[in-house]
A and B are shown apart, each in its own frame.
Chain A
Amino acid sequence: MNEPATAIEAAVAASPLHQLKDELDIVIPTIRNLDFLEMWRPFLQPYHLIIVQDGDPSKTIKVPNGFDYELYNRNDINRILGPKASCISFKDSACRCFGYMVSKKKYIFTIDDDCFVGKDPSGKAINALEQHIKNLLSPSTPFFFNTLYDPFAEGADFVRGYPFSLREGVSTAVSHGLWLNIPDYDAPTQLVKPLERNTRFVDAVLTIPKGTLFPMCGMNLAFDRQLIGPAMYFGLMGDGQPIGRYDDVWAGWCIKVICDHLGLGVKTGLPYIYHSKASNPFVNLRKEYKGIYWQEDIIPFFQQVVLPKDCTTVQKCYIELAKQVKEKLGKIDPYFDKLADAMVTWIQAWDGLNPTSASFSNGKIG
């Protein structure tokens, strides 16, 4: 468990059944190279990749042979979105959300280029995508907590006292995976515990209860684009922005509030990937610095957000959220004004590229 799986171990663990092959895109932001895909080949090769190249567009990113992909660099983003490209971050992995926008599939799996295949306690290579698909295709249970975690997992069920009327669950919009080895700590924690590695394999998937917020990480994430896609905007980060490393966290707060409002589920837990690269904590501190202070105000804001009943689609919810961000967070820093505007631009860009999705239903079962 303290090392990633080798390509051979992954090949052994791969099953011939590649579910949702034609319904799922894998979005990978990168600035370097995609060598890590070699390790993932047995699990991911049948799927289509959307590569979002950050940084210098004149550089060529080499994609390993045999993968079917489309690649977008900054020039492509500018060309496709025109002035609306301002909402897509530059020099930050937040740019990945452009991939969500251009995808035509129902599901998205996104992974960082320093994430390798993990191993479970028995030494078997973990097929992260397969687990994400399981999570997305089975219901969530946000209204009442099941003490045996995911009741739809093999060998588990709802416990005594769980009302039968809540056992059908709701659609799962997001599957949030975890990481072995380098944990996703903020800079201060990294500085205090530079050697800490996550070696604890927690064999559980659970639904995050309604009304509870969580810090979402974009390293190992899958979601149903049709249910929640427009809310997966990763914000304004990186070049020219006062903040970084809060892209996925910001998106996580937004999607959770909207999922709670629309009656959709968010799961966390399995699958694990093996996170190999620790970023520089001093660089991270500089990026996160403002975020660490701002989140003290941002969290209460999200905890108190109330979306009106007539927000029945994700886009409407998101526009309303943007409005409230401007009203209530604008006074903390002008950044939030810009962010609120970018959120609206994002929705316009999304609707522009996905015209038939302009009015998604709220995804409730039945």
Chain B
Amino acid sequence: MRTPPCLLSLTLDSAVHNLSNITDLSPLPDHILIELFLRTLRTGKLTERVLKLFIATGKDEVFSLIQALNIQVTVTPVLPTSKLMSLSIKDDEIDIVIGALRPDLTSFMNEWRTIFSRFHLIIVKDPDLKEELKIPEGFNLDVYKKPDIDRVVGTSTSTIFSGYSCRYFGYLVSRKKYIISVDDDCYPAKDNKGILVDAVAQHITNLTTPATPFFFNTLYDPFTEGADFVRGYPFSLRSGVQCALSCGLWLNLADYDAPTQALKPEERNSRYVDAVLTVPARTLMPISGINIAFNREVIGPALLPSLRLGGEGKFRWETMEDIWSGMCVKVVCDHLGLGVKTGMPYVWRNDRGDAISSLRKEWEGVKLMEEVVPFFQSVRLSREATTTEDCVAEVANVVKEQLGSKDPMFARAAKAMVDWVKLWKSVGSSTSSPGA
């Protein structure tokens, strides 16, 4: 016959079951306290409140158990009542990709905690960064470092992910529908009313409401609260098209080039413009990678690391990779009938680096744009290019033909674009579908 449970055991079981009604454990003898603690752990009922109850007894055995088992009070993420609740977007449709160009991400992650903590994060360490990354606890994340990148794409290919381009690896390995990416020197901003801007919610709102590239609405985003299409806006164009890309802005240190910032070293952007607008079709603009979000399923392969300046460095003033990638994305979106929005959300960009010392390096980037802009303005894709991959391949071809001979940098960029499409097809999720 099976031995029936003893009275003590039954009592302990009952205590565990009624933990929520217990307010004081100090009357319990030590050995029973410890047994209760262990049983609470085994049944998975150790909450912060219960832990505090045990700690309040002041018993050394309790403390040594807590230490031995490395039990820590985890910071409960404060879930904001964000607009995401009202949209039918699940948290698991979003990846936040952060390119780590600096090792200590502690303050960055902590500042973003209330906004980021409910999402999955992909942190990609710049393969050139030697120091170990410091990342605080309490996030759901995957970290990729050089060995990981080498493993996935091979050591010869992994060089394309150097510097700011490391985030593209994150895009490549993500399996989510939406990606949001901000630079690691940006913090959440406050709007005109002093309220913290939930950049993720705003980007998602931008991506999940239609864009209107074919006719300009003078009241900006017609789908936002309190606004609409104005008189004279054709009704047939009011349903809009799918938005593939959302470009945010920056308070404090704006994304100026080195000459501009060097000329106005004290200038900081303090103008909070309360608007989102669709960038009209066939209108190009410099798309900054500092604060960006996109629909990876629709436009993923078009955000790519390809143009690398000879003197590319670890400050945004010393790169053009995002500007080049952005021109490709806009051309592809225009061709596929997809929308690109610009405006909110804002992030607060911290002061970093010295414009004057970057001036020399970035001069070549500034000169390049004189060629790059007219080139992209003239690109026309063929009717047969109906997927994003096809479009990128065609752009690469035109780059090679028309710009390749002008500067070897362009020839390399064209090749990098072709390679990227191949890489995306083999490693990336191949769910890219033709535009709406």
Contacts and interface: CB of A to CB of B under 8 A. Distances in A.
Interface of A: 121, 144-149, 153, 155-166, 176, 178, 183-186, 189, 193, 196-204, 208-217, 245-246, 248-249, 252, 268, 288, 292, 295-296, 299
Contacts of B286: 144, 147, 159-162
Interface of B is mostly: loop
Given A157-B264, A212-B283, A299-B215, A203 B271 contact: yes
B64 to A, nearest CB: 57
Interface stretch (B111-119, B272-280, B415-423): B272-280
B320 A185 contact: no
A203 B232 contact: no
Interface in B128-147: none
Q: What 8 A-B pairs come out closest when comparing CB atoms?
A: A161-B286, A215-B232, A145-B285, A249-B232, A161-B323, A209-B283, A214-B216, A212-B280
Contact of B285 (A144, A208, A214): A144
Given A161-B320, A203-B272, A211-B280, 15 more contacts: A121-B192, A148-B249, A149-B273, A155-B270, A159-B286, A161-B288, A185-B229, A196-B226, A201-B274, A203-B273, A209-B283, A213-B216, A215-B233, A296-B234, A299-B234
Given A200-B274, A204-B273, A292-B235, A162 B230 contact: no
Contacts of B269: 148, 155-156
Contact of B370 (A165, A202, A211): A165
Interface in B233-292: 233-237, 247, 249, 254-257, 260, 264, 267-275, 279-288
Nearest to A246: B232
Q: How large is the interface on B (under 10, 10 to 19, 20 to 34, 35 or more residues)?
A: 35 or more
B316 interface: yes
Contacts of A245: 231
Contacts of B228: 183, 185, 189, 193, 196
Interface string B164-206: 0000000000000000000000000000100000000000000
Contacts of B326: 161
A183 B255 CA distance: 33
Nearest to A190: B231
B317 A160 contact: yes
A244 to B, nearest CB: 11
Nearest to A295: B234
B252 to A, nearest CB: 12
Contact of A148 (B215, B254, B373): B254
B219 interface: yes
B369 interface: yes
Given A176-B218, A196-B226, A160 B257 contact: yes
Contacts of B285: 144-147
B231 to A, nearest CB: 4
B254 A217 contact: no
Given A147-B285, A147-B286, A155-B267, A186 B232 contact: yes
Nearest to B320: A161
Interface in B345-385: 366, 369-370, 372-373
Contacts of B370: 163-165
Most B-side CB within 10 Å, residue of A160, A214, A292? A160
Contacts of B279: 145
A202 B221 CA distance: 11
B73 interface: no
Nearest to B272: A203
Interface string B315-351: 0110010010010000000000000001000000000
A196 B373 CA distance: 41
Most A-side CB within 10 Å, residue of B218, B257, B317? B218
